[in-house]
Structure 1
Amino acid sequence: MHPLSAAETEVAGELAALRPDLVAGFEAGLPGARAAVLTRLWRALAHEPLPWIERARDEHADGVTLRLTDGRRLHGPTPDPYATDAYVQVVRLDRTAYEDPARLLTDLAVPHGDGFAAEIAHSVASLALSRAAAPPPDPEVWPSRDWEWEQRVVDGHPYHPNCRARPGFSVAEQFAYAPEHRPLVRLGLLPVPGDACLVAGDWPDGLRDGSRLLVPVHPWQSAHVLKRPHDRESPAHPLMSLRTLALPGGPHVKTALSARLTSSVRDISVPSVTSSAVLSAFAERLAERTDGLLHITRTLGAVTDGTPELAAVLRESPEVYAGQGERVVPVAALTTTALPGSSAWLERFARLALTVGLRLLDLGVALEAHGQNLLVVLDSSGAPLRLVYRDLADIRISPARLARHGIAVPEELPARIRTDDQDALRRKLFGSLVAGTLAATAGSGPVLGSTLEAVVGDLAPTADLDALRRGPIPAKALTWMRLTPDRAGDLWVELPRPPR
């Protein structure tokens, strides 16, 4: 048996004390969890422009060999950067075989690798824990509530080695707060003097106490960061992002969570609060130009005490955009359900998503349309009808493009989301929608390639569409970003076009 890593040993020990009935399933699931994370890491090693891997690579019938700048060699299966199954079981560094991605990264001994290896080890352990405690959902059963769809996603990010990393969370806290474990979270309501807060939009009466505002606080944040008591609570259902929760019968609330989940620490910046209402109204007006194919969930209110560690944003539930007999499903959850006529369904969905994304991009707005932000409205038969988009914090807008369409940019919008760089705009949309959403839904390069080939000819011609048809596919270089902590902002890789 493969020896347990320190993270796996820690989780197994905590699990034995809390849920001994799950220990055997956890340990049995470790090989599959290692393969899932190793597949994601191998994708990065084979495709991202990591400075310690030479550009040239040797392709063989049994896989690919990568040459490191120090003379060592990595060998693994022929990489499919769009695949979502765990097809990588072993990667060899010179003559040593590795099944454990964290041990491989440790032995590579690259700059900043030790910290990332620890996160990867935690990702493996948390993934095995999630799989052991959350059996696969029945694909024939459709949930009735939006948060139930979100909680069906067990494996996390389809391409990031840190797909399930939750450093700083004990096993007990993962059971208490992680969506795949389906807990009811008791959100703290922290009273803060109203004159000490910045507020955007309308803060509801139900979250007020006289002149004080009741700010929703995640229990983990309350215990580990704020360390401030509160005597009021509200039950809530955690969503895919963990820090965003659905209030029963009400809106969704995004909370500050100063923990590194996947790539980033999930605080809420003061500028994102102050601009939230204006940005929401602006995006709503632009969505009207999609002929009813796109809805934007409205930001109802946002509040901060002036620090990113204590803030909250209230958004509409996407459910409000479902008609009779319809369901609103996060795209990341599509793989958990049976879809009618798989290839035809995928083509119809891709045509819808690209039509909307390219139309907005031509106007001057690039959505970050990954599987968590983008939702699809399905009719009673499962056919895609419309899209819903949520969380505007990371979109990009082009003042020059908008001006060509006679649209003025509100002065209150933060400078960081403005750019006229066409490469930055296209990367934002294509990296999230094509290399992320459509690729993960397709599940492999050949399926994605045939889907794109079938639909791009039906789309309205634009310079952006021409760039998508001719060039490589941009994607965030997720591993390179984690191994470059001293460099701010996104880093990108150009993935080979998927085969047709």
Structure 2
Amino acid sequence: MAATDDVLPPTGPPPDPADEAAALATTALLNCLIREVAQPARPARVHRLPATGRLLRVAGGRRPGTPLLRVAGGWRPLTLDELVELTAAELRAGTGVGNDVVPAEILHSRDVAAALLAARRDAPLPADLYLRSEQALMAGHPYHPAPKARGGMGPEAWLPYSPEVRASFPLTLLDVPDGELIESGDVSALGGPLPAHPWQVELLGGLPDLRRLGHTQGRAVATASIRTVYLPDADLFLKFSLDVRITNDVRRLWLHDLRHLPVVAALLETVFDDLPGPSLLRDRGYRSAELDGDGGEALAVIVRDGLGEHVRPGLTPLLAAGIAEGFPGNPLDALDEDAALVWWQRYLEHVVPPVLHAYLRHGVVLECHLQNVLVAVDAAGLPAQALFRDYEGVKLVAERHAAGPLLGAVRAWERLVYCLVTNNLCEIAGALTERHPGLRAELWARARAVFAAAGKEYGDPRELRELLAAASVPAKANLLLRWLDADGAAMRWVPVPNPLRLFTA
């Protein structure tokens, strides 16, 4: 993995932000290209691009880099710009579809990362380990072609609100006439005004038709998702609409999702009642203002529980995505091989059974990817509790529920396996394997045992039996989804080897 300002080389000057950003962007694009498009060739680490017939060789494992193109007489190094051109030519030939937007997004993502890396050097490191983990994601989604893209805008638009530079800022307070105010659920924690994200206010042209009441006294801390902020003084999270494309979607709180929130909230109120330990950060309700007939989308804000009422005493919550990417104080850094196995076992036992319980007992698919899971660790850094968040991403199995964000059972299970195995466990296991390469098989043998034990609790369901026997698991094809300009909520799967079988057979 490329170094960041948090993990500098032991000697010499820090890396140049432009070079570091190009390396991060190259890794993200290679991950997508290898997973979604390329075919393995010989020798090892050589990949064939099937539509154009070109051969690509890469260095590294979990985070590939330094791409080389096969040419007459040997291998030629590729710059990021050349790799982008190579990728575009392959996708045009393979799909029959042209796209000028995605190459520009990839290069924009690189430029954003360079600006963030430069600004991050002067940003004080938070004393709070939770905030360090939440603001650690300089690489971001490891399997997205443009993980740091900010809608094509320049640093003046997004730098003041970016978690990567440990941003905090006051929220804008708006006075909304009664006839235009929209509320659902419990939003009493907001008081009277409507809080708004200042970046969204700017994106909406300053909202000249609504009277501003000033700003919040306390500062909101940017979290990994960018549009969700944490209010430490109130111990509260607020999730806003943000009309910017980040990864696959424009991050607006869409009306069809907001309408599902009461159904999801009522169902999740008791989903963990019969399990000790795990907890859900509740999305209590939302407030908004009718704006030009939009039904309240543009200024919607969801009120989410803070940490205090959920995290057990003596524990420190950490964002799973931050643990996978790395930050100063990451508990993985202090583990020898034996301790790493204990850590992983605890992580599995706290994360996997609640997710399977929600699905098998209640027909609920938690969106348990790395950015939606917090693991609370004890004084020794060992996982002792799992917390899940974001009701907007929750789906309900259509065969078991009459209303809500429904998915058929096949698609629902695919989504769960992707979020839990491919996105979450593979990345955490990858971070451990990077530190202790000899543990790979044992990590997945233990994971398989936890899945199998959970299955026995629910009568050995067919879904789990098939998962443990499957040759592959689904991975989301983010590069192809962007290239084909799919809807942000669309799913397109590619198979990847099933680690629950591959390393345990």
Check if 1:99 corresponds to 2:65: no
Code of the residue aligned with 1:420 in structure 2: it is G
- Residue 447 (structure 2) aligns with: 455
- Residue 226 (structure 2) aligns with: 242
With over 3 angstroms needed to count, the CA separation of the structure-2 counterparts of 1:206 and 1:466, relative to structure 1, is closer
How far apart are the structure 2 equivalents of 1:224 and 1:197?
Answer: 20
Whether the 8 Å CA contact 1:29–1:128 is kept in 2: the answer is yes
Q: 1:448 offset after TM fit, Å?
A: 5.6
- Residue 18 (structure 1) aligns with: none
How far apart are the structure 2 equivalents of 1:394 and 1:286?
Answer: 16
- Residue 392 (structure 1) aligns with: 391
Where does the alignment leave 5 or more consecutive residues of structure 1 unmatched? 1-24, 209-213, 403-408
DSSP-derived class of the 2:28 partner: helix
How far apart are the structure 2 equivalents of 1:451 and 1:486?
Answer: 35
Whether the 8 Å CA contact 1:33–1:128 is kept in 2: the answer is yes
How far apart are the structure 1 equivalents of 2:258 and 2:276?
Answer: 28
Q: 1:200 offset after TM fit, Å?
A: 1.0
Code of the residue aligned with 2:105 in structure 1: it is E
Whether the 8 Å CA contact 1:102–1:117 is kept in 2: the answer is yes
- Residue 157 (structure 1) aligns with: 141
DSSP-derived class of the 1:246 partner: strand
Code of the residue aligned with 2:392 in structure 1: it is A
Q: 1:483 offset after TM fit, Å?
A: 0.8
Q: 1:346 offset after TM fit, Å?
A: 1.7
Matches within 5 A, 1:286-365: 286-289=271-274, 291-304=275-288, 305=290, 306-334=295-323, 335-336=326-327, 337-339=330-332, 340=335, 341-363=339-361, 364-365=363-364
| 1:195-214: CA deviation from partner (whole Å, max 9, x where unpaired) | 32331112226531xxxxx2
Q: 1:120 offset after TM fit, Å?
A: 0.6
Whether the 8 Å CA contact 1:68–1:74 is kept in 2: the answer is no
> Which of 179, 184, 199 is 2:183 aligned to?
199
> Which of 49, 53, 59 is 2:41 aligned to?
59
Q: 1:489 offset after TM fit, Å?
A: 1.4
Where does the alignment leave 5 or more consecutive residues of structure 2 unmatched? 1-12, 456-460
Code of the residue aligned with 1:454 in structure 2: it is R
> Which of 65, 72, 90 is 1:88 aligned to?
65
- Residue 378 (structure 2) aligns with: 379
Check if 1:216 corresponds to 2:216: no
Q: 1:99 offset after TM fit, Å?
A: 2.5
- Residue 43 (structure 1) aligns with: 31
DSSP-derived class of the 1:349 partner: helix
Q: 1:103 offset after TM fit, Å?
A: 4.1
Q: 319-328 vs 438-447, which deviates more?
A: 438-447
| 1:137-192: CA deviation from partner (whole Å, max 9, x where unpaired) | 99xx9943744431233222122121211124322333310012122222212222
| 1:11-32: CA deviation from partner (whole Å, max 9, x where unpaired) | xxxxxxxxxxxxxx99823333
How far apart are the structure 2 equivalents of 1:494 and 1:350?
Answer: 23
Matches within 5 A, 1:461-480: 461=455, 462-471=461-470, 472-480=472-480
- Residue 77 (structure 1) aligns with: 58
- Residue 8 (structure 2) aligns with: none
How far apart are the structure 1 equivalents of 2:331 and 2:40?
Answer: 39
Check if 1:227 corresponds to 2:221: no
| 1:29-68: CA deviation from partner (whole Å, max 9, x where unpaired) | 33333232222222222232x5xx7xxx452124323243
DSSP-derived class of the 1:257 partner: coil
- Residue 33 (structure 1) aligns with: 21
How far apart are the structure 1 equivalents of 2:68 and 2:196?
Answer: 43
Code of the residue aligned with 1:332 in structure 2: it is A
How far apart are the structure 2 equivalents of 1:326 and 1:58?
Answer: 44
| 1:325-353: CA deviation from partner (whole Å, max 9, x where unpaired) | 21111111223213342233123212332
The share of aligned pairs that are identical, in percent, is: 24
Code of the residue aligned with 2:201 in structure 1: it is S
DSSP-derived class of the 1:320 partner: coil
Code of the residue aligned with 2:119 in structure 1: it is A
How far apart are the structure 1 equivalents of 2:60 and 2:413?
Answer: 24
DSSP-derived class of the 1:222 partner: helix
Q: CA RMSD in A?
A: 2.9
Q: 108-117 vs 293-302, which deviates more?
A: 108-117
| 1:408-437: CA deviation from partner (whole Å, max 9, x where unpaired) | x4x6x53xx212322x12221111121111
The alignment's TM-score, normalised by the length of structure 2, stands at 0.80
With over 3 angstroms needed to count, the CA separation of the structure-2 counterparts of 1:148 and 1:42, relative to structure 1, is closer
- Residue 7 (structure 2) aligns with: none
Q: 1:135 offset after TM fit, Å?
A: 5.0
Q: 1:121 offset after TM fit, Å?
A: 0.5
How far apart are the structure 1 equivalents of 2:444 and 2:386?
Answer: 19
How far apart are the structure 2 equivalents of 1:195 and 1:151?
Answer: 38
- Residue 261 (structure 1) aligns with: 246
Q: Which runs of 4+ in 1 moved over 4 A?
A: 93-96, 106-109, 135-138, 444-449
With over 3 angstroms needed to count, the CA separation of the structure-2 counterparts of 1:342 and 1:105, relative to structure 1, is same
| 1:364-393: CA deviation from partner (whole Å, max 9, x where unpaired) | 111111111111121121111121111111
With over 3 angstroms needed to count, the CA separation of the structure-2 counterparts of 1:267 and 1:255, relative to structure 1, is same
Whether the 8 Å CA contact 2:158–2:199 is kept in 1: the answer is no
How far apart are the structure 2 equivalents of 1:63 and 1:298?
Answer: 44
| Matched residue count | 445
> Which of 115, 118, 138 is 2:101 aligned to?
115
Q: 1:79 offset after TM fit, Å?
A: 8.5
How far apart are the structure 1 equivalents of 2:40 and 2:444?
Answer: 28
Check if 1:270 corresponds to 2:255: yes
With over 3 angstroms needed to count, the CA separation of the structure-2 counterparts of 1:116 and 1:384, relative to structure 1, is same
With over 3 angstroms needed to count, the CA separation of the structure-2 counterparts of 1:67 and 1:238, relative to structure 1, is closer
Whether the 8 Å CA contact 1:473–1:494 is kept in 2: the answer is yes
Code of the residue aligned with 2:65 in structure 1: it is V
Whether the 8 Å CA contact 2:123–2:166 is kept in 1: the answer is no
> Which of 162, 165, 188 is 1:178 aligned to?
162
Q: 1:320 offset after TM fit, Å?
A: 2.6
Q: 1:399 offset after TM fit, Å?
A: 4.5
Whether the 8 Å CA contact 1:362–1:464 is kept in 2: the answer is no
How far apart are the structure 2 equivalents of 1:448 and 1:292?
Answer: 29
Whether the 8 Å CA contact 1:318–1:388 is kept in 2: the answer is no
How far apart are the structure 2 equivalents of 1:236 and 1:137?
Answer: 16
